Structure 1
Amino acid sequence: MGKNYEIERKFLVEFPDVSLLDIKRRIAIVQTYLKSGSNGSQRRVRSVDENGSVKYTYTEKIFLTHVTREENESEISGEMYHQLLAERRGDCPPVEKVRYCFDYEGQLFEMDKYPFSDKLAIMELELSSPEQAIDFPDKVRVIKEVSDDPRYSNAALAAAGAFPEQQIGE
């Protein structure tokens, strides 16, 4: 398997009226974290439901910087998915989210909405370089960048069951 590098920036946003966006895909995701790999990699499995068609993936990530990581992902069978669930981390509940994929000015954004918040979401954009300029959608209010804040990782959000802003009574 060749090395795949992912450069991604993440932003905390106000969840917009999605009817105003050019939504290409709406995907229900259940993401379960597994015990770390022998090389310290983060491992996970996903059940991905798009229009009633369910696929399963296995991913291993090695974090190089806060925006760059080596990522290897492959599709797996339902049987393999259920076998791997036995290796799940006890300290991290599965992450449930709905991902909205939409285009804006030639950029493909992914916005994840979690069941614990109607007001906030995480919006991500994969980049060709860490310095790439981003043209933000005018229908989405960006609150702040959270690429290097571990409190906004999927694992941390699932464990807390809330965004950090909700934990301080906002």
Structure 2
Amino acid sequence: MCKKYEIERKFLVEFPDVSELDVKRRIGIVQTYLNSADGKQRRVRSVDENGRVKYTYTEKVFLTPVTREENEYEISGERYRELVSNDRREGPPVEKVRYCFDYHDQLFELDTYPFSDKLAIMELELGSPEQKIDFPDNVRVLREVSADHRYSNSALAAAGAFPEQQIGEYI
């Protein structure tokens, strides 16, 4: 199992024109959360990149809103299906398309969801929580949502919408 510590900040952004970004990778992700009794978040992913599908299993322990311990490894399709069938937490899976792009020597991940063509989540892994972020000029950042659980993947999947859409904004 590959164990690492991750410092990640998340931002709610207006859905940018993806063609204006320096996209390095486009990845289709279906993420399913699993039952857990030990305080860890467990999930499996089906990841489709250029028609090649791989499956991963991940355990996360949240240390702060932006820092977590992450253990992730690749699993077989058979193991993925077994975990989804036998250990799936109640609620829908997260479906998203992730665009990975560079801007001023920073690797951003833009997650887009089928329920919105107006909003998206942009993430950036950092070397430290205090690291300065240079945002792309062609992406309008609305606000940081790193500590707001309503913008977690599981909450977005359960709601089927961003909180703004639920109150009639950005529809």
TM-score > 0.5 by shorter chain = yes
Cα deviation, residue 3, structure 1: 3.8
Aligned equivalents of 1:50 and 1:158: distance in 2?
Answer: 21
Describe how 1:7-22 pairs up with structure 2 within 5 A: 7-22=7-22
TM-score by length of 2: 0.96
Aligned to 2:108: 109
| Percent of paired sites with the same residue | 80
> TM-score under structure 1 normalisation?
0.97
Determine the C-alpha separation between the residues in 2 that align with 1:19 and 1:59.
Answer: 31
Cα distance, 1:19 vs. partner? 0.7
Match of 2:89, as an amino acid? R
Structure 2: gaps spanning 5 or more residues:
none
Q: Give 1:149's aligned residue.
A: 148
Shift in Å at residue 39 of structure 1? 2.5
For the residues of structure 2 that align with 1:118 and 1:145, how far apart are their CA atoms? Answer: 19
**2:23 equivalent to 1:23:** yes
Cα distance, 1:2 vs structure 2: 6.1
User: Structure 1: which 5+ runs fail to align?
Assistant: none
Counterpart of 1:70 in structure 2 is 69
* Separation (CA, whole Å) in 1 of partners of 2:74 and 2:2: 16
SS in 2 for 1:4: strand
Residues 2, 73 of structure 2: 8 Å contact kept: no
Alpha-carbon distance, 1:40 to partner: 1.2
RMSD: 0.9
Tell me the matched-pair count: 168
Match of 2:88 in 1: 88
SS at match of 2:154: helix
Structure 1 stretches (4+) deviating beyond 4 angstroms?
none
Deviations 1:28-55 (A, max 9, x none): 000000001x431000000000011000
1:68, 1:12 → 2: CA distance?
18
Partner residue of 1:5? 5
| Letter aligned with residue 39 of structure 1 | D
Residue equivalent to 1:130 = 129
2:163 is aligned with what amino acid?
A: P
Counterpart residue identity of residue 23, structure 2: I
Q: 1:23 is aligned with what amino acid?
A: V
Matching residue's letter, 1:11: F
1:4, distance to aligned residue in structure 2 (A): 1.0
